[in-house]
Chain A
């Protein structure tokens, strides 16, 4: 058991546990906090995969900005306990076994595929220097310059859309 292996399992368990808590929590604020837990665990996994910049952006933008927006809206709307629907018999007896079967099939297929066995970290991993932030920014501002500019227009449209919707709500 090496350190990357143990770290992977710890953060994977935190992520899956957070996702299950998101489903089981009855208060929306508990769901939001468990989603923050999932995002922080995923940021740690990105660090393990050698993507430092993406990890930082994950914490700042997702766990920071987006989740603050969610928590703000939960507080604003005074969201309380939600009523829960029962599992239908179809979901219980057909959906659950099917989901487990598909998951194991997928895991088996991935483990035996050509790319699946590639080592992510530890001894024999691809060289670390290739995933540097400067190489990432060079690629973003040269090869992907047009999509980058397109996203700025997308954000502008999103701001306008949010403003229009907010104005309608007050009428």
Chain B
């Protein structure tokens, strides 16, 4: 074996996305949960680049570009929300933020 098939990249992307989901579910710290969302976005970007390479088209790379822009905007707004929540609740644990819980 002397070349890497696209499927290896896709499986790596699936593993990283799965680890992101696991981190999202099991973490209790609100900032770490935010970081696991970034991990999932990165995994999807890897799949986009791999498919762009496989089809030899640039549209996938443009999509990665837009995903990065949206992730940056999301991080700015999300971290502002995190700061507001922590100022109001005095805690980083998501289990203390249960205002909408019935």
Contacts of A69 on B, CB cut-off 8 Å? Answer: 75-76, 79
Q: Which of B43-102 contact A (CB under 8 A)?
A: 45-46, 49-56, 58-59, 61-62, 64-66, 68-77, 79-84, 86-87, 92-93
Contacts of A50 on B, CB cut-off 8 Å? Answer: 53
Given A16-B15, A82-B93, A23:B6 Cβ within 8 A: no
**How does the 8 Å CB contact mask read for B9-43 relative to A, with 1 for contact and 0 for none?**
11110111011101100111101101110110010
Q: Which of A46, A73, A103, A135 makes the CB contact (< 8 A) with B14?
A: A103
CA distance A85 to B25 in the complex (A): 11
Contact yes or no, B77 A162, CB < 8 A: yes
CA distance A76 to B36 in the complex (A): 20
For the complex of A and B, list the 8 residue pairs with the smallest distance between their C-beta atoms, beginning with the closest: A116-B7, A122-B3, A158-B73, A165-B80, A2-B2, A19-B19, A126-B56, A110-B7
Q: Is the interface of B mostly helix, strand, loop or mixed?
A: helix
Contacts of A84 on B, CB cut-off 8 Å? Answer: 28
Contact yes or no, B73 A155, CB < 8 A: yes
Q: Which of B15, B50, B66, B87 makes the CB contact (< 8 A) with A120?
A: B50
Q: Which of A5, A31, A151 makes the CB contact (< 8 A) with B35?
A: A31
Given A54-B49, A103-B14, A120:B83 Cβ within 8 A: no
Given A85-B26, A139-B62, A39:B42 Cβ within 8 A: yes
Q: How large is the interface on A (under 10, 10 to 19, 20 to 34, 35 or more residues)?
A: 35 or more
Contact yes or no, B68 A122, CB < 8 A: no
Q: Which of A114-164 contact B (CB under 8 A)?
A: 115-127, 130-131, 135-136, 139-140, 143-144, 147, 151, 154-155, 157-159, 161-162
Q: Which of B5, B19, B55, B68 makes the CB contact (< 8 A) with A20?
A: B19
Given A19-B19, A70-B34, A79-B92, A62:B6 Cβ within 8 A: no
Contact yes or no, B62 A49, CB < 8 A: no
CA distance A5 to B1 in the complex (A): 8
Closest chain B residue to A71 by CB distance? B31
Given A35-B39, A57-B68, A116-B7, A73:B23 Cβ within 8 A: no
Contact yes or no, B68 A136, CB < 8 A: no
Q: Min CB distance, B47 to chain A, in Å? A: 10
Contact yes or no, B42 A23, CB < 8 A: no
Contacts of B38 on A, CB cut-off 8 Å? Answer: 35, 62, 66
CA distance A80 to B97 in the complex (A): 18
Contact yes or no, A116 B61, CB < 8 A: no
Contacts of A4 on B, CB cut-off 8 Å? Answer: 3-4
